[in-house]
Amino acid sequence: MMRRPFVQQSPMPGFGLAMGITMTMLSVVVLLPIGALLLKGADFGLANIWATVNRERVWKALWLSFRLSFMAALFNLVFGVLLAWVLARYRFPGRRLLDAAVDLPFALPTAVAGIALTALYAPNGVFGSVLADAGVKVAYTRWGILVALVFVGLPFVTRTVQPVIEEIDREVEEASATLGASRLHTLRHVILPMLTPAALTGFALALARAVGEYGSVIFIAGNIPLVTEIAPLLIVIQLEEYNYDAAAAIGIAMLLISFAMLLAINLIQIWSRRRIGYV
Amino acid sequence: MTRETLGSIAPRPAPMTAAEIVAPLRRVKPLLTWGAILAVFALTIGETRAEALLNVSYDPTRELYREVNEAFTEYWTAQGNPAPQIEASHGGSGAQARSVVEGLNAQVVTLALASDIDRIAEAGKLPKDWQGRLPHNSSPYTSTIVFLVREGNPKGIKDWGDLVAEGVQVITPNPKTSGGARWNYLAAWAWAERNGQDPKDFVGKLFKNVPVLDSGARGATTTFSQRGIGDVLLAWENEAYLALKELGEDQFDIVVPSVSVLAEPPVAIVEANIANDEQRKLAEGYLNFLYSPQGQALAFKNYYRAWDSSAAAPEDVARFPKVELVDISHFGGWSRVQPEHFGDGGIFDQIYVPK
């Protein structure tokens, strides 16, 4: 009996070239930097990494970064889907303009976004002064960080969900209605399951983006240790002290936590696909 | 500056059909694309010519070096030299030093702290005794730390002791990321020492009154002046005067405390990045120009306390009030201060995370 070859020839031409380019790109753009980070950590030693990370200030910063990123991604999940729904389903004047505006957080340099948001939400800013009268402070508090993270993560959910909504056949909803389902029932049991995988992907992207965000947050956060100090700032502080090892250690900690979170999201996605099948 | 132009446009021959035009273009296009990419690389990846100089400096010196570079170019060409191409880069002092350590091709560094240049020396890019090579600890100009308060000084802030009062909000950048903020911290420390207070306890109380820790001096100035946060900004004297000039004298007042620090922002030639004798001559000429009466006058004009006031406008010199200034040697030099106060787990960190 012939053994199955390790590499199966694909009937599609161009596999070798495409694969070569893919591997090269991935290595240069993704694997090399991460490899360098891990190598730096390996030099430093596991015990030292743990000693660097296992400090109140670092844990507080990590907890702040990941908790706020999660909240921002959750916010974007709900309102991003809503936004995608409005853009895909309704026709109204200015829709294309609004559609284009969704991508602005991608295009705007994050420092510009941070400064603009700070100017708006500072106690003497347009929103900030109104909020200050109500006794709410946004800029230079955790709320400010959340606002910045929501801003930078917004396009991810909308842009992943929008094409899926556009693909949904109206007949499916009509069939559901003719079979006697209420609107809420149709939404809950027909529409949402179809959107879940894409929405989860968008959520994961928004989350990943928020965790690593530095440029915009730094302007609005206040950066007080233990209170509004985000983990990426701690890394910059370590670099400022020429403490490359400690910076790499915190970087590795963030990488591991991010990896675990993304893995969990992927598992949920697989589970939801199994449950409802592919859309 | 001269850059080669990418080919020239030949006079157009008789008109061709569209197909005729496109066909050769097809073959030429990839060549053009690659040519363009290579050209961009050649232009961006710093190939330094002899008569070029990169000055890597810190944040608040933007205005100073804009004027210095202009005046120096004029002076240098008047000496019969070809026009030099001087570029300046500004950013946080520590980050700038790190860029140079990591290979930024700076011939001259003009940073906020001697410890940042020490760091470049440790990387072997300049001799360890660099600070003795130019007068005044290689610091052509100095500055100090003063308070910027809101018009009329509503909280009645006169001296360091007033900063720890309940309800006073102090704006300073983060000493971990900003060279200027380290001077703020040390000035407060010196005042406490002189006034019979426990300095560690005093700076702790002071930083408890800080609602926002920006990463750099400019950011802190913006937070205080534009965002309206805080009652007092601890600032470089030159930065405080600049804020008055740019944002209106009717909005802020400068308060000079009884004790402050003598901040000496040093300058040095990065030996390892000097390509040839021509460039060395230019770099030395540039740094010496800072010490010349003309260069010193520019420093005075930009609100720095310089040494030689012979060519400076009298009003530029007269505006500086007398302050008791404490210099870094009082604290044992940067090599001791840096790890003890600002290192990982140092005294500054203990304000937030007690040991």
Residue A37 placed within a domain: yes
Q: Tally Cβ neighbours within 10 Å of residue B263.
A: 28
- Name the residue of chain A whose CA is nearest to B207's CA: A224
Residue B1 placed within a domain: no
Residue A15 placed within a domain: no
A chain contacts of residue B341, beta-carbon cutoff 8 Å? none
pLDDT at B6: 43
Residue A264 placed within a domain: yes
pLDDT at B48: 43
B123 and B197 in a single domain? The answer is: no
Residue A71 has pLDDT above 90, yes or no: yes
B257 and B296 in a single domain? The answer is: no
Total domain count, chain A: 1
C-alpha B168/C-alpha A236 separation (Å) is 29
pLDDT at B30: 58
A chain contacts of residue B177, beta-carbon cutoff 8 Å? 236-237, 240
Residue A1 placed within a domain: no
Instruction: Check CB contact under 8 Å for A222 and B349.
Output: no
Residue A160 placed within a domain: yes
In the numeric block, the tokens 């007949």 are attached to A171
Whose CA is closest to A84, among A94, A98, A73? A98
Please report the ipTM that was assigned to this predicted complex: 0.74
User: What are the residues whose beta carbons fall under 8 Å from the beta carbon of A198, sequence distance 6 or more?
Assistant: A160, A161, A163, A164
B231 and B297 in a single domain? The answer is: no
Cα–Cα distances (Å) from B153 to A40, B147, B227, B233, B239, in that order, read 51, 10, 18, 12, 18
Q: Tally Cβ neighbours within 10 Å of residue A260.
A: 10
pLDDT in tens, B169-179: 999 999 988 88
Instruction: Check CB contact under 8 Å for A223 and B211.
Output: no
Which residues are registered as beta bridge partners of B267?
A: B110
Whose CA is closest to B96, among B217, B191, B210, B208? B217
C-alpha A74/C-alpha A147 separation (Å) is 13
B176 touches chain A (CB under 8 A): yes
Q: Which of B122, B229, B340, B355 to mutate to test the interface with A (most CBs of A within 10 A)?
A: B229
Which tokens go with B324? 């008791």
C-alpha A147/C-alpha B186 separation (Å) is 35
Which residues are registered as beta bridge partners of B306?
A: B141
CATH code assigned at B276: 3.40.190.10
C-alpha A63/C-alpha A170 separation (Å) is 43
Residue A66 placed within a domain: yes
pLDDT in tens, A191-215: 888 898 899 999 999 999 999 899 8
Evaluate the CA torsion angle A121, A122, A125, A127 in order and state its sign. Answer: positive
Mean pLDDT (whole number) for A60-72: 95
B151 and B174 in a single domain? The answer is: yes
Total domain count, chain B: 2
B137 and B271 in a single domain? The answer is: yes
B215 touches chain A (CB under 8 A): yes
B chain contacts of residue A215, beta-carbon cutoff 8 Å? none
Whose CA is closest to A161, among A82, A269, A76, A84? A84
Residue B104 placed within a domain: yes
The alpha carbon of residue A199 is apart from the nearest alpha carbon of chain B, in Å, by 36
Q: Where are the beta strands (DSSP E) in A117-275?
A: none
Residue A201 placed within a domain: yes
Instruction: Check CB contact under 8 Å for B228 and A118.
Output: no
Residue B172 placed within a domain: yes
pLDDT at B38: 60
B213 and B333 in a single domain? The answer is: yes
Cα–Cα distances (Å) from A12 to A17, A18, B232, in that order, read 12, 11, 69
pLDDT at B2: 41
B211 touches chain A (CB under 8 A): yes
Evaluate the CA torsion angle B112, B113, B114, B117 in order and state its sign. Answer: negative
The alpha carbon of residue B25 is apart from the nearest alpha carbon of chain A, in Å, by 26
Q: Which among B101, B211, B226 has CB closest to A140?
A: B211
Containing domain of residue B254, as a range? Answer: 145-262+323-352
B130 and B153 in a single domain? The answer is: no
The alpha carbon of residue A24 is apart from the nearest alpha carbon of chain B, in Å, by 19
Residue B284 placed within a domain: yes
Q: Which among A57, A140, A219 has CB closest to B229?
A: A140
B235 and B296 in a single domain? The answer is: no
C-alpha B147/C-alpha B241 separation (Å) is 11
B chain contacts of residue A225, beta-carbon cutoff 8 Å? 213, 349, 352-353
Residue A5 placed within a domain: no
User: What are the residues whose beta carbons fall under 8 Å from the beta carbon of A255, sequence distance 6 or more?
Assistant: A34, A37
pLDDT at B27: 55
Containing domain of residue A85, as a range? Answer: 28-276
B106 and B162 in a single domain? The answer is: no
pLDDT band at A85; cut points 50, 70, 90: very high
C-alpha A262/C-alpha B26 separation (Å) is 45
Which residues are registered as beta bridge partners of B86?
A: B53
Cα–Cα distances (Å) from A70 to A74, A181, A210, A262, in that order, read 6, 34, 8, 11
Whose CA is closest to A230, among A63, A74, A56? A63
pLDDT at B9: 45
CATH code assigned at A259: 1.10.3720.10
pLDDT at A144: 93
Chain A interface, Cβ < 8 Å to B:
55-57, 118-119, 122-125, 139-140, 218-219, 222-226, 233, 236-243, 246
Is residue A231 packed enough to be buried (19+ CB in 10 Å), middle (13-18) or exposed (0-12)?
buried
Mean of per-residue pLDDT scores for chain A: 89
Helix, strand, coil % over all residues of chain B, rounded to 5: 50, 15, 35
Residue B34 placed within a domain: no
Degrees to nearest 5, angle at CA B87 with B85 and B89:
170
B163 and B214 in a single domain? The answer is: yes
pLDDT in tens, A145-175: 999 999 999 999 999 999 999 988 888 888 9
B179 touches chain A (CB under 8 A): no
The alpha carbon of residue B340 is apart from the nearest alpha carbon of chain A, in Å, by 12
pTM value is 0.78
pLDDT at B33: 62
B198 and B335 in a single domain? The answer is: yes
Degrees to nearest 5, angle at CA A112 with B252 and A146:
95
Instruction: Check CB contact under 8 Å for B213 and A224.
Output: yes
Residue B2 placed within a domain: no
Q: What is the DSSP code string of B79-130?
A: TTPPPPEEEEEEE-HHHHHHHHHTT---SEEE-S-HHHHHHHHHTTSS-TTG
C-alpha B141/C-alpha B132 separation (Å) is 15
Which H or E element spans position A175? helix A170-178
- Inter-residue contact A223 to A231 (CB < 8 Å): no
Residue B42 placed within a domain: no
B chain contacts of residue A222, beta-carbon cutoff 8 Å? 211-213
Residue B27 placed within a domain: no
The alpha carbon of residue B176 is apart from the nearest alpha carbon of chain A, in Å, by 6
Q: Mean pLDDT for each 10-residue chunk of chain B (355 residues)? A: 42 49 52 61 50 88 93 92 90 88 92 90 92 92 94 92 93 88 93 93 94 87 89 92 85 93 93 90 94 94 92 88 90 90 89 78
Q: Which among B177, B215, B344 has CB closest to A246?
A: B344
C-alpha A93/C-alpha A25 separation (Å) is 42
